[in-house]
Amino acid sequence: GNSVTQMEGPVTLSEEAFLTINCTYTATGYPSLFWYVQYPGEGLQLLLKATKADDKGSNKGFEATYRKETTSFHLEKGSVQVSDSAVYFCALVKNRDDKIIFGKGTRLHILP
Protein backbone atom coordinates (compact mmCIF):
# COMPACT_ATOMS: atom_id res chain seq x y z
CA GLY A 1 0.00 0.00 0.00
CA ASN A 2 0.90 3.66 -0.08
CA SER A 3 3.10 4.97 2.68
CA VAL A 4 5.35 7.81 3.73
CA THR A 5 8.53 7.39 5.75
CA GLN A 6 10.29 10.31 7.31
CA MET A 7 13.27 10.56 9.57
CA GLU A 8 12.65 10.15 13.24
CA GLY A 9 13.27 13.06 15.47
CA PRO A 10 13.68 15.02 17.42
CA VAL A 11 16.11 16.99 15.34
CA THR A 12 18.00 19.65 17.27
CA LEU A 13 19.95 22.37 15.48
CA SER A 14 21.46 25.71 16.29
CA GLU A 15 20.03 28.85 14.75
CA GLU A 16 21.30 29.52 11.20
CA ALA A 17 22.19 25.86 10.65
CA PHE A 18 21.27 24.01 7.47
CA LEU A 19 18.24 21.75 7.76
CA THR A 20 17.36 18.54 5.94
CA ILE A 21 14.43 16.36 6.91
CA ASN A 22 14.31 13.21 4.82
CA CYS A 23 11.08 11.88 3.37
CA THR A 24 10.59 8.89 1.09
CA TYR A 25 7.37 7.44 -0.18
CA THR A 26 5.88 4.28 -1.59
CA ALA A 27 3.04 4.64 -4.03
CA THR A 28 1.91 3.44 -7.40
CA GLY A 29 1.39 5.99 -10.09
CA TYR A 30 2.14 9.65 -9.60
CA PRO A 31 1.11 10.98 -6.21
CA SER A 32 1.15 14.60 -5.18
CA LEU A 33 3.49 15.37 -2.29
CA PHE A 34 3.19 17.82 0.58
CA TRP A 35 4.97 19.13 3.63
CA TYR A 36 2.82 20.33 6.51
CA VAL A 37 4.02 22.08 9.66
CA GLN A 38 2.43 21.98 13.11
CA TYR A 39 3.36 24.65 15.63
CA PRO A 40 2.84 23.90 19.34
CA GLY A 41 -0.81 23.63 20.31
CA GLU A 42 -2.10 24.15 16.80
CA GLY A 43 -3.40 22.22 13.83
CA LEU A 44 -1.37 21.60 10.71
CA GLN A 45 -0.59 24.16 8.03
CA LEU A 46 0.47 23.51 4.48
CA LEU A 47 4.11 24.47 4.04
CA LEU A 48 4.67 23.50 0.40
CA LYS A 49 3.64 21.02 -2.22
CA ALA A 50 4.69 19.45 -5.54
CA THR A 51 2.39 17.69 -7.92
CA LYS A 52 4.70 16.10 -10.48
CA ALA A 53 8.21 14.78 -10.87
CA ASP A 54 11.00 17.37 -10.69
CA ASP A 55 8.66 20.02 -9.32
CA LYS A 56 10.15 22.11 -6.53
CA GLY A 57 7.87 23.42 -3.82
CA SER A 58 9.07 26.38 -1.79
CA ASN A 59 7.77 28.62 0.97
CA LYS A 60 9.25 30.64 3.86
CA GLY A 61 12.78 29.64 2.86
CA PHE A 62 11.93 25.93 2.83
CA GLU A 63 12.28 23.85 -0.33
CA ALA A 64 11.57 20.30 -1.40
CA THR A 65 12.01 18.66 -4.80
CA TYR A 66 9.85 15.79 -6.05
CA ARG A 67 12.33 13.08 -7.03
CA LYS A 68 10.60 10.25 -8.83
CA GLU A 69 13.78 8.25 -9.34
CA THR A 70 14.51 8.08 -5.62
CA THR A 71 10.87 8.39 -4.48
CA SER A 72 11.89 11.20 -2.19
CA PHE A 73 10.72 14.66 -1.16
CA HIS A 74 13.32 15.89 1.32
CA LEU A 75 12.69 19.19 3.09
CA GLU A 76 15.55 21.69 3.23
CA LYS A 77 16.23 25.14 4.58
CA GLY A 78 19.49 26.98 4.34
CA SER A 79 19.36 28.86 7.64
CA VAL A 80 16.87 27.90 10.31
CA GLN A 81 15.41 30.20 12.94
CA VAL A 82 14.11 29.56 16.44
CA SER A 83 10.62 30.22 15.09
CA ASP A 84 10.96 27.18 12.81
CA SER A 85 10.70 24.90 15.85
CA ALA A 86 7.69 22.72 15.11
CA VAL A 87 6.66 19.27 13.93
CA TYR A 88 6.96 18.66 10.19
CA PHE A 89 4.86 16.11 8.34
CA CYS A 90 5.51 14.72 4.91
CA ALA A 91 2.38 13.54 3.10
CA LEU A 92 1.08 12.20 -0.18
CA VAL A 93 -2.20 11.84 -1.98
CA LYS A 94 -2.75 9.56 -4.90
CA ASN A 95 -4.63 10.32 -8.04
CA ARG A 96 -8.39 10.22 -7.59
CA ASP A 97 -8.04 9.30 -3.96
CA ASP A 98 -9.48 11.39 -1.20
CA LYS A 99 -7.18 10.20 1.54
CA ILE A 100 -4.01 11.98 2.34
CA ILE A 101 -1.36 9.78 3.91
CA PHE A 102 0.96 11.31 6.48
CA GLY A 103 4.35 10.32 7.74
CA LYS A 104 4.84 10.10 11.48
CA GLY A 105 6.17 13.60 11.78
CA THR A 106 9.59 14.96 12.71
CA ARG A 107 9.95 17.29 15.67
CA LEU A 108 12.44 20.08 15.08
CA HIS A 109 14.06 22.08 17.89
CA ILE A 110 16.09 25.15 17.02
CA LEU A 111 18.37 26.49 19.73
CA PRO A 112 19.19 30.21 19.90
Q: Which is nearer to other proteins, 69 or 98 (CB)?
A: 98
Closest contact distance (angstroms) between CB of 16 and other proteins is 25
Q: Which long-range contacts (CB under 8 A, 24 or more apart) does 30-33 make?
A: 30/68, 30/95, 31/2, 31/92, 31/93, 31/94, 31/95, 32/92, 32/93, 33/57, 33/64, 33/66, 33/73, 33/90, 33/91, 33/92
Report if residue 97 touches other proteins, rule: CB under 8 A.
yes
Q: Which is nearer to other proteins, 19 or 92 (CB)?
A: 92
Report if residue 107 touches other proteins, rule: CB under 8 A.
yes
Q: Exactly one of 44, 58, 63, 67 binds other proteins (CB under 8 A); which one?
A: 44
Report if residue 38 touches other proteins, rule: CB under 8 A.
yes
